[in-house]
Amino acid sequence: MFTIGDHIIYSTHGLCRINDIRDETVSGVTKKYYKLHPLANTLVTITTPVDNDKVVMLKLLQKEQALEIIEIFKKPGVEPDQSTAKALQPKLINTGDRMQIAEIVNTLMRKKFDTQLQKETFYAHDYKLINNTQIMLFKELAHAMDTSFEEINQMINDLITEDQPSSTVN
């Protein structure tokens, strides 16, 4: 169980702070609930049961773990089985396994870069998948590395493009 003041990764909201833990009664059932605030949007309050097994709530990465994840971006992307790739990627991301998430983000970033170089279309499905996932992962890496999202984004873009012809990746 987390404690008040802890920073965690919460499902699709990303980096959150636990501001309160309290008993609440919903439909006649009293349970302990976390009151969370996403760091990116402090106007939002999330209330979720402490024992909620339908969402991913994770402790934040430590610096050593973040460094291991960044190493993934030095490797070529993986080519998943094309018949299951689109179905499996969102499920893998929802597990909260940062190493698998980083492999997917690395693969999609490289694919996006290659499609830009070839002046081809980067599919909307891939763009949607990478957009939020990349932002959440990079914000968590930045927090663990005590740096900014922009610095992590630039570092990883540099790792991906270092063996490629000069070009800009967003």
Per-residue model confidence as pLDDT tens digits over 4-37: 999 998 877 888 999 999 999 989 999 999 999 9
Nearest Cα residue to 133 out of 4, 12, 27: 12
CB atoms within 10 A of CB 24: 12
Structural domains in the chain, CATH included, are 7-59 (2.40.10), 63-161 (1.20.58.1290)
Q: Pull the structure tokens for residue 120.
A: 């081809």
Q: How far apart are CA 2 and CA 50, in angstroms?
A: 9
Q: Pull the structure tokens for residue 29.
A: 């059932």
Q: Is the pTM of this model over 0.75?
A: yes
Longest Cα–Cα distance in the chain: 63
At 138-161, the pLDDT tens digits run 999 999 999 999 999 999 999 998
